[in-house]
Structure 1
């Protein structure tokens, strides 16, 4: 089980010299309906509150945390010392660029991935000193964004056998109902995603698919098995939409210390 540190960060062990974890919705300053640690810049929340929430996350992990503008693709953006300087500045950017993965070998620069039902993935090779994150939604799983993140790590000296991964809270296969045609399309590319809901209807199990993709590359990964749709401590776009409200974004984060 992950250990909790900070006010709302579930820590996972990715090896020596690495801090990694997943946020919950607790520990921030945003009022309802984002209550309270909303880290997203596209949720309608006040930007000042989001900056404060991100500052609290940075305090918990001891480093500035960079985020991408996620577009449900498979691009992985490399970050380095110049990005560390930019994200350490008094007014850091909202996003490093359009991508659904980030990779770095720069110490002291956190990488973050934002989700509210999609799968957050954090990766680290503590030997080669390379880390990455990936945003694995339905399209990202089908496109293989996790593979692209691993490829980017390998290009920087990582070995898949040395990489440790963690798959964070996401909507589970029992709750992620989709049309049968969509399930078939995704499962054709990621067979382990095929699932049925508790009611017996077509569904996708994205966490299971991501775990299978990592295993296929020889990566040892843990799963923080909490369903965003049913866990009130986590943000869920699907649950909020059903209730007719908006919601915030939680994050997966990893830092080389």
Structure 2
């Protein structure tokens, strides 16, 4: 199990892990939890019944989680289908998402005691996923100027070659000057920086640059993590975040 500790302080625990097998999804709703979830539960000392994972769709939908939904997607069928973002104001709930090159985005407002976790792929990085998450957090009392954003391990721009149709897609969401920081030409190849796109989206939501942090780890470069672009199929990494119970 390879793991990057994202946050570990008196208030928040967050991480990014490959697991031993990279399998976090069960084949059927009534199947038992995967061995990777069991091992992570044991490692963290947190019961599996406190974990939760949505069935992701690469979209912009964000849902608010309460203790009534814990266990969803881990020990039972998920209450959250076609959902790529979760927020909560309850401590002791472990929000989790799977990713294999897409960006896990960790959100925390310590003062309001609100946390969130997003699965941000190419479309979501140009879409409304982050905006929707901030709006959900605001409903729970969070303030954008207090929200800390951590951009987790994901495929870096050097590894992420895309076509001109992607730049055309992003041109609908970003200004021409912004596109210059999102895309880079390497020879004749066009490369996309998801990190830059997410930073710009966060700034547009009123989040200070001082409150935006990026973990310098590429899932494609670092072979201890699973990478769709590198050829891994059916295996993913897991991102998780929890506000600690005091």
TM-score class, shorter-chain normalisation, is: 0.7 to 0.9
Aligned length: 232
Distance 1:229 1:130 in 2: 31
Distance 1:203 1:210 in 2: 15
Tell me by how many angstroms 1:77 deviates.
Answer: 1.2
- Whether 1:18 and 2:6 are equivalent positions in the alignment is no
- For the residue of structure 2 that corresponds to 1:165, the secondary structure is strand
Kept in 1, the 8 Å contact 2:116–2:241? The answer is yes
Q: 1:106 to 1:171 in 2, by over 3 A?
A: same
Tell me by how many angstroms 1:247 deviates.
Answer: 4.4
Q: 1:57 to 1:81 in 2, by over 3 A?
A: same
1:108 alignment partner, one of 54, 79, 92: 92
- Whether 1:93 and 2:48 are equivalent positions in the alignment is no
Kept in 1, the 8 Å contact 2:60–2:132? The answer is yes
Tell me by how many angstroms 1:166 deviates.
Answer: 1.1
- Whether 1:218 and 2:207 are equivalent positions in the alignment is yes
Q: Deviations over 1:68-97 (max 9, x none)?
A: 11111111011102113x4599x3335632
Q: 1:189 to 1:82 in 2, by over 3 A?
A: same
Distance 2:147 2:56 in 1: 24
Tell me by how many angstroms 1:157 deviates.
Answer: 0.3
- For the residue of structure 2 that corresponds to 1:212, the secondary structure is helix
Distance 1:16 1:214 in 2: 25
1:196 alignment partner, one of 165, 184, 188: 184
- For the residue of structure 2 that corresponds to 1:82, the secondary structure is helix
Structure 2 counterpart of 1:3? none
Q: Which is worse superposed, 217-226 or 133-142?
A: 217-226
Q: Which stretches in structure 1 are left out of the alignment for 5+ residues?
A: 1-6, 29-35
Q: TM-score, normalised by structure 2?
A: 0.83
- For the residue of structure 2 that corresponds to 1:228, the secondary structure is coil
Tell me by how many angstroms 1:163 deviates.
Answer: 1.4
Q: Deviations over 1:154-179 (max 9, x none)?
A: 11001112211211111111221111
Q: TM-score, normalised by structure 1?
A: 0.80
Q: Deviations over 1:126-174 (max 9, x none)?
A: 1111111111111111212111111111110011122112111111112
Distance 1:154 1:10 in 2: 28
Distance 2:3 2:109 in 1: 21
Distance 1:221 1:60 in 2: 28
Structure 2 counterpart of 1:76? 62
Structure 1 counterpart of 2:138? 154
Structure 1 counterpart of 2:195? 207
Q: Which stretches in structure 2 are left out of the alignment for 5+ residues?
A: none
Q: Deviations over 1:85-131 (max 9, x none)?
A: x4599x33356322010111111111112110111111111111111
Distance 2:95 2:115 in 1: 8
Q: 1:114 to 1:213 in 2, by over 3 A?
A: same
- Which runs of structure 2 are paired with 1:117-128 in the superposition (5 Å)? 117-128=101-112
Structure 2 counterpart of 1:4? none
